[in-house]
């Protein structure tokens, strides 16, 4: 896949959408909307959108505090209010919150996958550049050794060839060989000058450090809100005041965090949008000042796989081929003089070094071609602008929806906890229990008076005539008839009441 060009970068509509956001800072002057990692006013525009969410969160918290105070201090009415409507609305917003959190978890994973893809291909680009620089270092070392060995050959020619004309011609050929070797080295040094810089390492190291913490923090934030939604649902179903109050208290803190997270992700989405609208502009800012525009454009567009150093590679190969042929010609001229084993050993070393130099130049041509770096560049952009941008946009939207839903649920839970406190629960009591206190036979609110005939007492309502849930029979009672002795307190009050 890396041996062929995979195409050009295509931006998403989300990049244009976030790029059109107003770029203002806290003092309201308009700032440049082009992405920059070192421009302080541009960084302030990103903080501005984060501050919008934080300011909204503060206003929401103050309004909720006033609402809770009003609800708690409001005079309680005796009329019982139904809580079915509140419970229905709470259920709706709890499920809205849960569905939004599911989308948020997906956005978090999508952002992580995009950033991982970006880091992987950024490191691959760095590895390609390091490989080309290492190959150039090898060529430099071979060139140095060749020059040293050729100097010894030159000395042998000068001392062994008695014919001055032949000696001069052979030495000129050797010097030409050295010149061609130096040309090959200079061409490779130009490639070093165009590709040697360390800014990619800095970006890769910073992204690798930050991304795991971002992923864990976002996952924890969404998990906390999912837990609060679950507890709200349980508290609503069980009519638990304690659980609802617990969710209200911790929900206020979680609400502040979700709004801050939404602001951070909105600022990040605007940042990614500015980058993805014109990524080539940022790459040109980050590259070395010594890199020619032609070389950089060849890596960014890669319309020709032989670019950007095709001429330099061909010149280096031609120089080393000429050097090899010059060496052969010089050795042919010196062959009649039989200069011994030492010359043959040096020539063998030079031949091996020249062959190694040819191989390294060919390898450099393959490594430093535009296909490797261009493919890594496109894949890294797709990771940020096609995956991470979508994930960040999802999380920014989810944080806003969850914040609104949780705000409504906190208000409803506060009201529901008060209404749940007014609900009285009837517990069945065994009326046949002899130790159960019973009211005296008089109407409430009047002073008791002893009747003339205790057996003619008009008992309008007998509490013993009520049927008990779960009892097998109901004991009939008639006014004036007492089959059981009254409680001790009643006996002392009415001594004339007998068993």
Burial of 428 (0-12, 13-18, 19+ CB in 10 A): exposed
Q: 326-335, 433-442, 478-487: lowest mean pLDDT where?
A: 478-487
With a cut of 90, say whether residue 258 has pLDDT above it.
yes
Encode burial over 447-477: b for 16+ CB neighbours within 10 A, e otherwise. Answer: eeeeeeeeeebebeeeebeeeeeeeeeeeeb
Spatial neighbors of 73 by CB under 8 A, at least 6 apart, are: none
pLDDT in tens, 411-420: 888 888 777 7
pLDDT in tens, 178-191: 666 666 667 667 66
Q: What is the DSSP letter of 4?
A: S
> Residues of the chain with pLDDT > 90: what percent?
16
pLDDT in tens, 109-143: 999 999 999 999 888 888 877 887 787 788 778 77
The span from the CA of 273 to the CA of 283, in Å, is 15
Q: What is the pTM of this model?
A: 0.71
Task: Tell me the average pLDDT of the chain.
Answer: 75
> Which carries the bigger pLDDT value, residue 404 or residue 199?
404
Burial of 442 (0-12, 13-18, 19+ CB in 10 A): middle
What token pair was written down for 374?
Answer: 């261009």
**CB 202, CB 287: distance < 8 Å:** no
The span from the CA of 296 to the CA of 277, in Å, is 19
Q: What is the mean pLDDT of residues 57-66?
A: 86
Q: What is the mean pLDDT of residues 66-93?
A: 75
Report in angstroms the alpha-carbon separations of 127 from 4, 111, 119, 123, 372.
18, 24, 12, 6, 10
What token pair was written down for 446?
Answer: 């009047």
Q: Nearest to residue 418, comparing CAs of 110, 70, 171?
A: 70
The span from the CA of 188 to the CA of 364, in Å, is 9
> Which carries the bigger pLDDT value, residue 87 or residue 108?
108
pLDDT in tens, 126-135: 887 788 778 7
With a cut of 90, say whether residue 225 has pLDDT above it.
yes
pLDDT at 215: 95
Q: Nearest to residue 363, comparing CAs of 372, 352, 376?
A: 372
What band does 289 get if pLDDT is binned at 50, 70 and 90? low
pLDDT at 482: 46
Residue 329 φ/ψ, nearest 5 degrees: -65, -40
pLDDT at 488: 55
What band does 3 get if pLDDT is binned at 50, 70 and 90? very low
The span from the CA of 341 to the CA of 330, in Å, is 17
pLDDT at 114: 92
């Amino acid at each position: 896949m890396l041996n062929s060009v995979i195409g050009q970068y295509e931006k998403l509509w989300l990049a244009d959408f976030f790029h059109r956001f107003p770029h203002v800072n806290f003092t309201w002057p308009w700032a440049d909307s082009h992405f920059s990692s070192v421009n302080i006013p541009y960084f302030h525009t990103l903080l501005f959108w984060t501050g919008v969410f934080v300011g909204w969160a503060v206003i929401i918290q103050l309004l909720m505090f006033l609402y809770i105070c009003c609800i708690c201090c409001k005079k309680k009415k005796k009329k019982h209010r139904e809580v079915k409507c509140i419970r229905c609305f709470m259920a709706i917003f709890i499920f809205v919150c849960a569905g939004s959190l599911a989308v948020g978890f997906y956005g978090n994973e999508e952002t992580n996958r995009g950033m991982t893809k970006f880091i992987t291909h950024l490191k691959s680009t760095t590895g390609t550049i390091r490989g080309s620089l290492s190959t150039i270092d090898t060529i430099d070392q071979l060139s140095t050794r060749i020059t040293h060995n050729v100097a010894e050959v030159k000395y042998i020619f000068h001392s062994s060839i008695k014919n001055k004309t032949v000696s001069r011609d052979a030495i000129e050929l050797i010097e030409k060989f050295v010149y061609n070797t130096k040309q090959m080295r200079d061409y490779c040094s130009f490639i070093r000058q165009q590709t040697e810089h360390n800014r990619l390492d800095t970006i890769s190291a910073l992204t690798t450090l930050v991304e795991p913490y971002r992923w864990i923090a976002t996952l924890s934030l969404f998990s906390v809100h999912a837990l609060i939604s679950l507890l709200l649902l349980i508290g609503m179903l069980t009519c638990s005041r304690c659980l609802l109050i617990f969710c209200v208290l911790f929900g206020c803190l979680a609400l502040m965090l979700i709004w801050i997270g939404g602001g951070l992700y909105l600022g990040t989405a605007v940042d990614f949008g500015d980058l993805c609208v014109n990524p080539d502009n940022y790459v040109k800012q980050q590259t070395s000042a010594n890199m020619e525009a032609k070389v950089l454009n060849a890596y960014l567009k890669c319309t020709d796989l032989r670019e950007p150093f095709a001429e330099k590679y061909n010149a280096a190969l031609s120089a080393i081929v000429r050097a090899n042929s010059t060496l052969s010609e010089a050795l042919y001229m010196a062959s009649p003089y039989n200069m011994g084993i030492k010359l043959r050993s040096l020539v063998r070393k030079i031949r091996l070094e020249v062959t190694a130099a040819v191989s390294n130049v060919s390898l450099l041509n393959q490594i430093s071609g535009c296909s490797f770096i261009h493919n890594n560049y496109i894949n890294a952009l797709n990771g940020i602008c096609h995956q991470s941008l979508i994930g960040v946009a999802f999380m920014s939207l989810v944080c806003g929806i969850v914040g609104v839903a949780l705000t409504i649920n906190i208000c409803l839970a506060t009201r529901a906890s008060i209404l749940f406190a007014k609900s009285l629960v009837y517990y069945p009591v065994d009326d046949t229990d002899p130790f159960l206190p019973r009211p005296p036979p008089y109407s409430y609110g009047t002073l008791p008076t002893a009747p003339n005939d205790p057996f003619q007492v008009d008992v309008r309502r007998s509490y013993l005539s009520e049927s008990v849930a779960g009892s097998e029979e109901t004991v009939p009672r008639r006014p004036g008839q007492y089959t059981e002795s009254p409680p001790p307190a009643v006996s002392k009050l009415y001594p004339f009441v007998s068993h």
